[in-house]
Amino acid sequence: MKVLLFLNYGASLFLIFFGIFAMTSARHLLRKVIGMVIMQTGVILFFISLAFKHGASLPVLPYSAKTAPAAAEAFANPLPHALMLTAIVVGVSLLGAALALCLMIYKVHHSLEEPVITQNLEKEP
Amino acid sequence: MMRDQWPALIFLVPFLGTFLLPFLARFKWPSACTAAAFFLWISVLLSAAVLGETALSGPLSYAFSGWPPPMGIEWRADSLSALMALLMTLSAALSLSVSGASSEQEIGSRAAPFFMSVLLAVSGLLGMVLTNDFFNAFVFLEISSIATYALIASGPIRSAPYASFRYLLIGTLGATLYLLGVGYWYAATGTLNMSDFVTRSLSAQDNPILMAGFLLIFLGLAIKMGLTPFHSWMPDAYAHASRTAACVIAPIAAKAPIYLLIRISFWAASPEWLEHWHFWNLLKILGFLGIVTGSLLAFRQENFRRLLAYSSVSQIGLIVLALGIHERNALFGAILHLVFHAFMKTGLFLFAASVESRFGARTVQELSGLVPRMRISFAVMTTSVFSLIGIPPLAGFFSKWYMLSGALLAGDFWAAAAVVGSGLLSALYLFKLLEQIFFRKNPEDPKTKEAPSMLLAGAILTAAVNLAGGFLVPLFHAWAHNGFLKEIFG
């Protein structure tokens, strides 16, 4: 079970570095955007892995146990999930902004290839 | 009691204003720009009230939805964050109030979304400054960033969206690294509240996870503030943004990450621990690199706004260097420079906006022909430039003086030499600028055509702040002495 947990962290690190690599090395702007999203997904996976506890149950009190004191150890940590819900929303709006910018760029330069755009920009208008 | 809610209200007025603006824009009066400026001025009054209140009776703390601090989200206004909130709102409100007519000519029918983005960007910055919660700070960092991307993309369609896109990629990288660092800190201490983090991290000082998290957070903030070697987005963004957007965001956008860095490295993390990992030396080295790179690149620029952006890179380097000295006076000098630099840059970007709206002049070459036509504007611009260099009666001199005295008191002669050197380097590129502007033959017939009166009034106001700032420094020092300096250094 422990090995599986390390697998989680390893996967999140891989996603983060792979995303950064894609962002920096890709020439097409949409590929860069995809790299950005992969990087964010890696961080989300990292946070979600933090919440995991071996043998813990859902962080929901059963109706019958209204008054019983809840032992925190018996439940998975719900806070990282709440945080990541917010981070996902932030990521979606960033993705929207990035795609809108790509659209604007494409309308002017008729291409999303980085070398073409920089070449266009270097030419005097 | 109303008093506790003031910190949240500073943020809520422009934030709710964002969503009221499209409805207000359906009427002819007030224009979107006036309405946005109105919301910001309310925020200025509230920030001033909070600043006064913190000076009289200590920090204000507000717990959202009534959840008590370590569990819920806490907002906290102490002397430093109240000052930063006042700076952000005042600078943005000033630029918006004077650029109404000029922005109409430039932005026209897109006014409502444009000024919504302005309000959203400023409220995001206010959230970053006022929150006492690491994750909350990330959310507001992204809110202000997304609005800033939109503002930068509002410039000329040919180049602005691409500049904005590049800023978006690198800015997202910075914010994501910050978030990852917060994750490390949360894993190590189990808290997201900054005050709670201080007490919890003390028992786990030799935990390497804390240091790894700190480095990630620092890296993220360094990218967002434009510290060398992560400054490449800044010149493009400020040179291609629309001129109204540049006036609002350029003076304050980089200041909020610097504030967060101060908050995290002076309050949250313990100084001995940072000393042990040579963090202060790292700050000094990066700050020094920033000063040199920014100044040398500014020296080569032809485009006026790009030159201003590189000058910002070097001034941010100077502020970070002063933080790295880790001494009472140096920290005070850094804060002072943070405040005065915002006003210098507001004045200079307002000047850039006025020459662009009158003559379409963007390069230093084009500026030189305009001197006989806009004598008052150029006089005001020169005041701001002199303050940026740090010539004695002006405000910029006093901030650099405190940094220098801090470096000498700490016995750090390399840092002292770097502070003096930064003054000399900025004199180098700014005197070159003045020489190119003023000492050229002007073939044109001098027919006076001054800057738009409102823009000119704004530039004069910021120049007045630079003139008067120096005389207010003793008062300011007495206040800081009892406020944040006492909290940090005892």
3-class DSSP assignment, residue B363: strand
Q: Count Cβ atoms within 10 A of the Cβ of residue B458 and give its class: 0-12 exposed, 13-18 middle, 19 or more buried.
A: buried
Closest CA to B92 of B195, B27, B17: B17
3-class DSSP assignment, residue B279: helix
pLDDT at A69: 57
Chain A residue with minimal CA distance to B160?
Answer: A105
Q: Are strands B74-77 and B60-63 parallel, antiparallel or unpaired?
A: antiparallel
Gap between the Cα atoms of B267 and B31, Å rounded:
42
pLDDT tens-place string over residues B58-112: 889 999 888 888 888 999 998 999 999 999 999 999 999 998 777 877 787 788 8
Hey, where are the domains in chain B? Answer: 281-490
3-class DSSP assignment, residue B148: helix
Q: For residue B210, give every residue at least 6 positions away whose Cβ sits within 8 Å of its Cβ, in sequence order, or none.
A: B184, B185, B188, B189, B201, B204, B269, B273
3-class DSSP assignment, residue B201: helix
Closest Cα in chain A, distance from residue B166 (Å) = 10
pLDDT at B375: 85
pLDDT at A24: 92
CB contact under 8 A, A86 and B142: no
Q: Which helix (H) or strand (E) holds B61?
A: strand B60-63
CB count in 10 Å sphere of residue B446: 12
Model pTM?
Answer: 0.94
**Under-70 pLDDT residues of chain B:** 1, 203-205, 441-446
CB contact under 8 A, B173 and A23: yes
Q: Which domains does chain A have, with CATH numbers?
A: 2-54+76-122 (1.10.287.3510)
pLDDT at A112: 92
pLDDT at B425: 93
pLDDT at B39: 95
**Under-70 pLDDT residues of chain A:** 1-2, 5, 64-70, 124-125
Q: For residue B26, give every residue at least 6 positions away whose Cβ sits within 8 Å of its Cβ, in sequence order, or none.
A: none
Instruction: Name the interface residues of B facing A (CB cutoff 8 Å).
Output: 135, 138-139, 142, 146, 149-150, 153, 157-159, 161-162, 164-165, 168-169, 172-173, 176, 179-180, 183, 186-187
Packing angle, helices B233-240 and B304-325, rounded to 10: 140
CB contact under 8 A, A94 and B139: no
Instruction: Name the interface residues of A facing B (CB cutoff 8 Å).
Output: 16, 20, 23, 29, 32, 36, 39-40, 43, 46-47, 50, 80, 83, 86-87, 90, 93-94, 97-98, 101-102, 104-105, 107-109, 117, 121, 125
